[in-house]
Structure 1
Amino acid sequence: MSSSSTATAVVPSALRNLYLDWSELMATHELDIRLFRSVFDEWHQPTIEPEDVTYKEETVGGVPGIWAFPAGADRSKVLLYTHGGGFAVGSAASHRKLAAHVAKAAGATAFVLDYRRAPEHPHPAQVDDGVAAFEALLERGVHPEDVTTIGDSAGGNLAIAIPLALKAKGRPLPGHVIAFSPWLDMENRGATLVTNDATDALISVPLLEGMIAGVLGETTSPSAPLANPLYADFTGFPPLYVNAGSVESLVDNATRVAERAKSAGVDVTLHIAEGQQHVYPFLAGRDADVDAELAAIGQWLRH
């Protein structure tokens, strides 16, 4: 497992400013689920539109989403992208630019899922949709090793949970897994929820508690491995790339899952970015360090 971690100075950025704006909005207004989702569909704003990428809406395995096709990409290789947003907000539209940047760096295509969201559709609907889309790609002739499950925050949870669900079914697994700032701990036991509370511009325990209640309801245990992969058996899991920002409250979700997977013999790469916020790759095209990180991920996927 390779890793890098650094100091705790907060990096000012367009992403941090967006999070601060959201946090103020949530603190001063009562948002119903429709308005909550509308606000979080602004998530794409810090991301520069990647050049030479076309998009197409389609349904794969019964799950709607948006394809990103970088010019010259190998269409036999697919990033199956699950967006973040606490399983309740975020969308393919809010994440298509980020997914396209990663796809472009990897010379691959990306399909960003509009999976069913909580609270209308509690766990495991989101995992089931990811499994259905993965299996539909295989039915189309894509080789399992040419699919990467990838996601951020709650979508990073799904990127990890989808292969775990496939493994439990005895099905082929994706070739790689990528998780940006994964939110895995459905018990809110992480130490950095406390130590980084003052430096994280978005995440708070009350926000997470609401998201947990919405997705797990009263039927799913917060320690169920497909809901909380920190309890999962990672034996035989694909190579895993995890990153997070050093000042975000969920950084120890990334470090804990990396350690758990490594202890099971998984090839793990962990990168903790100095001063960066939750899902800092949203700064793609705007931050040279982020672009370098995505280029490194592209090389990791290619080789």
Structure 2
Amino acid sequence: MMSRERALATMNERFPLVAERVLHQWGLRLPRQVAVFAALAASDGKALAEVGISPWGVTDYFRDGGLDLAGRDGLDPRLHARFRCDPAEFVTVMGGGSDGLHFGLWFDDPAELPALIAHNYARDSAETWASTAPTLIGVVRERVDRQLADYGDEPEEVARVAPLIEAVEWFTAADQAALRQDGPPRWASAPRSYFAMSLLPHLPPDSGDPQASESGIRLDVFQGDAAQASRWITEARRELTAGRPALALAVGSELHWLDRDEYRQAGLDLLVGAYRALGRDALAEIATVHAAHRDLRSVQVLVAGV
């Protein structure tokens, strides 16, 4: 393990090259806070492991030799740590250790920095929700606090997580400095709506109505009423053609999450069409490559020695 000072200096030095790689391959802007989390992992990884957390996803590029990693069997790097129900807006940066829990940066718009940290239990029900803390370091502290709330009356448990608490406190100043350097992300504090299974991305006011309140009803329809499902898909297509992509994004996102064979192509067409209409081409491309490889046996895609 590196010392904290050395780890922070090293990861900040690596940040521009990693950010360039992510921009080139994903078409997304990487926030500086990821380098601070990578430094925490490099200096206090054993303490992180005590709460089941590890760096994963694009954070792997910060490892020694990380920029030499490549997709196994010629796979696209954008598939790395991308589970089958993950939305295109979700880009994994941290593993959570149970039930496929993983944490990701949430990109409403590829032109903007991510607005928040989201999480998803991929091997459970695989919905995607917003985390409360705005940074990965903050999410780690929340995990520690939750663990202490459950087991804080056990001295052994307190002693077990004490090193991580101390480490998080040490990195907090650097975390806040990273936020200040990047500036506040657009939509970070804006009210946010939800579908039944995920966050609703922020959309321009002229993009139409995603009818988010109907999301749960639509999910039920898509699982048992083919005629009504066809009507929803037709309405979403009509809205998209009319230059109002919000409903197409909603229906496409729901069909992506449900992952039923009979709706795969229709859902992808709506989703990609909506992203293109919104000018969110990087998300359209992520959705396309993901749809072509959703049946991978493993989402550990970036490997050494390729």
Q: TM-score range, shorter-chain basis?
A: under 0.3
Bigger Rg, structure 1 or 2: 2
The structure richer in strand per residue is 1
The structure richer in helix per residue is 2
TM-score (norm: length of structure 1) = 0.27
Larger relative contact order (CA 8 Å, sep ≥ 6): 1
TM-score (norm: length of structure 2) = 0.27
